[in-house]
Structure 1
């Protein structure tokens, strides 16, 4: 899935003097406050962090409360979806007007009816609404289906994705991957069918070549015998 990246950052965390005897815990608490929020500095939603090192020499700041700053080197896992990227998520709701998806367990996404390609038609099966492909009856999108969709836009404030199922390479991940394997197998079979006749032709040419050589040899032998008889 696209939209994920790792960013290396040099940070300075400011700690209250009352936490001076628990610096590590205070630092982790500050970093945890960044989780699942959009950061303009890093241009993404912070999903996880890994502290590589932090400076033991803290700088005390002047003021009424003398906070001290601790310098860190951190690896941040960011969720930063951009237009035309491919995301994957689980369908949680299907209606005639839209498909609702959850991405990575926290970000909601919606795909409106106008952004669903005409190949899909909404039907009611066993009391539930599902989208079924007209071209491939087994290509079904329902509640619980993992789908791959295209990003149209991303609302950074509410962490909401607006998606699209217009491209042909979007839809049910299970069906897309299985269909891709079938297509790959068909391509390999087609290549084999093309190669086999060529090999047969080459082998036939080789056999014909041997026969031609043999005939030439026989003719040359006959010509030598005839020549010997003529001389005698």
Structure 2
């Protein structure tokens, strides 16, 4: 079954200059990729998101002397990036990893943790304890249940960037709950799935490639500088 496109994922472009140590001159592309890959799945406040994947093209090299260092050479790079930028009010999808009467804990995109506390679990659900765990069951339809392993849709309440994009969610808004149940019984969600705008939930993320935009990174053998992306999502000043 196809799934509607999840909010919070965006594409961005950036012009970067990656400074490579002379010892890596024989394989510049590999040196650039290794440095950029260290930046995967880390939140960067300066571009308001987490880098999920990237592709890049090396546009040439130029010698550049950096103060206090041996002569690094700069590698101009044009990067296409896949970013994750969740904001309050967005609808996300996640897999339930653990739940109890007071909370539901899920994983988004296989990486980011999300917690839905009891106050944010709609009154339409009740918790039923069972041996080895429990599950939430809708009071109006026993077929609508959320248990460990369930895929759920939920609304974002808060995002803690200090904890690398930890998400606090809610199941109170409409069109949230078990994705399996919603796909059959929720007209809006079913329409999204069946429309031409829908796409597979399984995103082909190239973990071996990565790019960080609008930041400077230092480590023992490379330094990355970048310009602000030419295409990026406008920050929602009201979403705090």
* SS of alignment partner, residue 21 of structure 1: helix
* SS of alignment partner, residue 40 of structure 2: coil
Match of 1:132 in 2: 137
Residue 179 of structure 1 pairs with residue 219 of structure 2: no
TM-score (norm 2): 0.73
Describe the shift of the 1:83–1:119 C-alpha distance in structure 2 as closer, same or farther (beyond 3 A): same
Asked whether the 8 Å contact 2:116–2:171 carries over to 1, the reply is yes
Residue 87 of structure 1 pairs with residue 92 of structure 2: yes
TM-score (norm 1): 0.75
Residue 5 of structure 1 pairs with residue 10 of structure 2: yes
2:162 pairs, out of 154, 157, 172, with 157
Q: Partners of 1:48 and 1:182 in 2: how far apart?
A: 30
Match of 1:227 in 2: none
Residue 19 of structure 1 pairs with residue 19 of structure 2: no
How far 1:14 sits from its partner (Å)?
1.1
Residue 116 of structure 1 pairs with residue 121 of structure 2: yes
Match of 2:64 in 1: 60
Asked whether the 8 Å contact 1:61–1:69 carries over to 2, the reply is no
Q: Partners of 2:125 and 2:21 in 1: how far apart?
A: 57
Return the index of the structure with the highest Cα Rg.
1
Give 1 or 2: higher helix fraction: 1
Residue 167 of structure 1 pairs with residue 173 of structure 2: yes
Deviates more, 1:70-79 or 1:13-22: 13-22
Q: Partners of 1:135 and 1:72 in 2: how far apart?
A: 55
Match of 1:217 in 2: none
How far 1:182 sits from its partner (Å)?
11
How far 1:100 sits from its partner (Å)?
0.3
Q: Which has the higher contact order (CA 8 A, sep 6+)?
A: 2
Q: Which runs of 5+ in 2 are unaligned?
A: 1-5, 192-240
Q: Partners of 2:177 and 2:66 in 1: how far apart?
A: 57
Match of 2:204 in 1: none
How far 1:33 sits from its partner (Å)?
1.1
Deviates more, 1:124-133 or 1:161-170: 124-133
How far 1:181 sits from its partner (Å)?
5.6
How far 1:183 sits from its partner (Å)?
10
1:39 pairs, out of 39, 44, 50, with 44
* SS of alignment partner, residue 71 of structure 1: strand
Q: Which runs of 5+ in 1 are unaligned?
A: 186-232
Q: Partners of 1:174 and 1:60 in 2: how far apart?
A: 56
Asked whether the 8 Å contact 2:175–2:188 carries over to 1, the reply is no
